[in-house]
Homo-oligomer: A and B are copies of this chain.
Amino acid sequence: MAKEITSREENYSQWYNDIIKKAGLAENSPVRGCMVIKPTGFGIWENIKAQLDKMFKETGHVNAYFPLFIPKSFLSKEAEHVEGFAKECAVVTHHRLMNNPNGTGVVVDPSAKLEEELIVRPTSETIIWNTYKDWIKSYRDLPLLINQWANVVRWELRTRPFLRTAEFLWQEGHTAHATREEAIEEANMIHELYARFAEDYMAMPVIKGAKTANERFAGAEDTLTIEALMQDKKALQAGTSHFLGQNFAKAFDVKYSNKENKEEFVWATSWGVSTRLIGGLIMTHSDDEGLVLPPKLAPTQVVIVPIPKPAPNIMEVAEKIAKALKDKGITVKIDSDETKRPGFKFAEYEMKGIPVRIGIGNRDLEKNVVEVARRDTKEKTSVNLDGVSDYVVTLLDEIQNNLFQNALKFREDNTTIVDNFTDFKDALDSKGGFVVAHWDGTSETELKIKEETTATIRCIPNDAVEEDGKCVFSGKPSSKRVIFAKSY
């Protein structure tokens, strides 16, 4: 099977599509730009969702659900927001079909035209802030810490599974606060939470920083981002947390009376991550043999394969191991399908990225051992039957950690600090990856660099050192370095 995957060197983009197809993660649907997320792909999303949901709840957030549709007029209420967002979207204009008078199929009933068109939500700030107007009256109603798990639609021209699709699944947090400081603190807290999730669960190292004015969310005063580096040395924006100031409160007239009984506008944040994370997961860890998944997010963590075939004594051992693993909270599958040979199964599970495979053979059993293979390094080890479940628990941790360390090393190897524009372009062209350089802080320079190189400023990193420097493009003074890269 593995030979059906294009190698990364040959064609990274095709490799990505092959992985998604062969590992059964998703496929294109007959609706342009919309994908079908298959059970294995959806299983990864369920794990992502469960963990993030837990982290949101631990930090005081609750879930709610707002309408799929947004009245068209809402989008124009926040001026910057409509500029940045509203244009490419799905517009509902009618509410009824009728039988085609010519007798074939159905057509739109022209008499069922809506008075005001509805937009399928591309994001929900407007409908939510219109609702918050009624929910927030006094400082006692604040902070309001709400998250929504939902589907959203943006009519993208060029789509790629997970990375950019017309419909995608995401969570969007929308919080309201009494003070500027509290809202900024919330945006920062979620930024840290996203980074912790990316690193601890996805094993995907990220750089935390702020977007420049050009790259900010439409309607935000500040956009915080986590940026990861993919294997083809392009950056992926993996999650953003926005400080929205009072923009939406003013657009939707959301005020609260403070302790002195004085009316003030509310302060806001919004933040989201999406099924795009699955694209990042694939492009951070997988190899030419197939998908590689960090154990903490793998829908199946261990597969047990009897060799050469599932004889009764082998099945008994398999089930005993499976039970011991399940008791330790590990998801495990026994493959007792007799129509496929073990070699075929091994290749298939490598393709699907199951972190650990346990082979049980007759000769092994005589020696009271089983063969444990790890997906990341493909190493195999004979492990004594008595200690196999403890061994696997430790191994899963080791794989999780190893994947993170490899990705971190890859990022470090592909991060270049430059001090002039010749080196800047050279680093981008010959090496790719993150290029760390001084920038004069102007949108003008940023756009000129983008025009000339296609690279954008991924972020102004949180941990940038204050130092005297000169912008690589304009030579004007700069106080810290920012991260440039070509990106998804």
Q: Across the interface, do A46 and B68 meet the contact criterion of CB distance under 8 Å?
A: no
Q: How far is the CB of A126 from chain B (nearest CB, A)?
A: 10
Within 8 A of B (CB), among A26-41: 27, 29-31, 34-39
Q: How far is the CA of A21 from the CA of B448 in the complex (A)?
A: 55
The answer to whether A376 has its CB under 8 Å from any CB of chain B is no
Scan A112-129; emit 1 where CB is below 8 A from any B CB, else 0.
000001111000000100
Give the chain B neighbours of A117 by CB distance below 8 A. 108
Q: Across the interface, do A36 and B131 meet the contact criterion of CB distance under 8 Å?
A: yes
Among A38, A69, A88: residue with most chain B CB under 10 A: A69
Q: Across the interface, do A29 and B91 meet the contact criterion of CB distance under 8 Å?
A: no
Q: Across the interface, do B62 and A36 meet the contact criterion of CB distance under 8 Å?
A: no
Q: Across the interface, do B108 and A68 meet the contact criterion of CB distance under 8 Å?
A: no
Q: Across the interface, do B106 and A68 meet the contact criterion of CB distance under 8 Å?
A: no
Q: Across the interface, do A36 and B108 meet the contact criterion of CB distance under 8 Å?
A: no
Within 8 A of B (CB), among A7-28: 27
- Which stretch in A93-101, A184-192, A362-370 binds the other chain? A93-101
Q: Across the interface, do B130 and A30 meet the contact criterion of CB distance under 8 Å?
A: yes
Q: How far is the CA of A130 from the CA of B28 in the complex (A)?
A: 12
Give the chain B neighbours of A76 by CB distance below 8 A. 104-106
The answer to whether A63 has its CB under 8 Å from any CB of chain B is yes
The answer to whether A71 has its CB under 8 Å from any CB of chain B is yes
Scan A75-104; emit 1 where CB is below 8 A from any B CB, else 0.
110000010001111111111111000001
Within 8 A of B (CB), among A155-211: 155, 167, 169
Give the chain B neighbours of A68 by CB distance below 8 A. 34, 120, 151, 153, 167
List the B residue with the shortest CB-CB distance to A105: B76
Q: Across the interface, do B105 and A93 meet the contact criterion of CB distance under 8 Å?
A: no
Q: How far is the CB of A76 from chain B (nearest CB, A)?
A: 4
The answer to whether A344 has its CB under 8 Å from any CB of chain B is no
List the B residue with the shortest CB-CB distance to A107: B72
Within 8 A of B (CB), among A319-352: 339
The answer to whether A292 has its CB under 8 Å from any CB of chain B is no
Q: How far is the CB of A48 from chain B (nearest CB, A)?
A: 13
Given A30-B130, A151-B68, A169-B65, the answer on whether A95 and B106 have CB atoms closer than 8 Å is: no
Q: How far is the CB of A61 from chain B (nearest CB, A)?
A: 9
Q: Across the interface, do B71 and A30 meet the contact criterion of CB distance under 8 Å?
A: yes
Q: Across the interface, do B70 and A31 meet the contact criterion of CB distance under 8 Å?
A: yes
Q: Across the interface, do A36 and B63 meet the contact criterion of CB distance under 8 Å?
A: no
Give the chain B neighbours of A35 by CB distance below 8 A. 67
The answer to whether A310 has its CB under 8 Å from any CB of chain B is no
Q: Across the interface, do A69 and B36 meet the contact criterion of CB distance under 8 Å?
A: no
Copies of chain A in the complex: 2
Q: Across the interface, do A92 and B95 meet the contact criterion of CB distance under 8 Å?
A: no
Q: Across the interface, do B88 and A91 meet the contact criterion of CB distance under 8 Å?
A: no
Q: How far is the CA of A31 from the CA of B69 in the complex (A)?
A: 7
Give the chain B neighbours of A108 by CB distance below 8 A. 72, 91, 93, 117
Give the chain B neighbours of A105 by CB distance below 8 A. 72-73, 76
Give the chain B neighbours of A339 by CB distance below 8 A. 140
Q: Across the interface, do B92 and A72 meet the contact criterion of CB distance under 8 Å?
A: no
Given A31-B118, A87-B97, the answer on whether A64 and B38 have CB atoms closer than 8 Å is: yes
Q: How far is the CA of A288 from the CA of B223 in the complex (A)?
A: 48
The answer to whether A410 has its CB under 8 Å from any CB of chain B is no
Give the chain B neighbours of A74 by CB distance below 8 A. 30
User: Among the listed B36, B64, B155, which residue makes an inter-chain contact with A65, where contact means beta carbons less than 8 Å apart?
Assistant: B36
Q: Across the interface, do B94 and A93 meet the contact criterion of CB distance under 8 Å?
A: yes
Q: Across the interface, do B167 and A106 meet the contact criterion of CB distance under 8 Å?
A: no
The answer to whether A43 has its CB under 8 Å from any CB of chain B is yes
List the B residue with the shortest CB-CB distance to A92: B90
Given A120-B68, A167-B69, the answer on whether A89 and B93 have CB atoms closer than 8 Å is: no
The answer to whether A146 has its CB under 8 Å from any CB of chain B is yes
The answer to whether A42 has its CB under 8 Å from any CB of chain B is yes
Q: How far is the CA of A39 from the CA of B135 in the complex (A)?
A: 12
Give the chain B neighbours of A64 by CB distance below 8 A. 36-39, 42
The answer to whether A66 has its CB under 8 Å from any CB of chain B is yes
What are the nearest 10 A-B pairs in CB distance? Answer: A76-B105, A34-B67, A39-B62, A37-B65, A91-B94, A95-B155, A31-B67, A93-B93, A90-B92, A31-B69
Sample (5) of A-B pairs whose CB atoms are under 8 Å apart: A29-B67, A30-B127, A31-B69, A37-B65, A72-B97
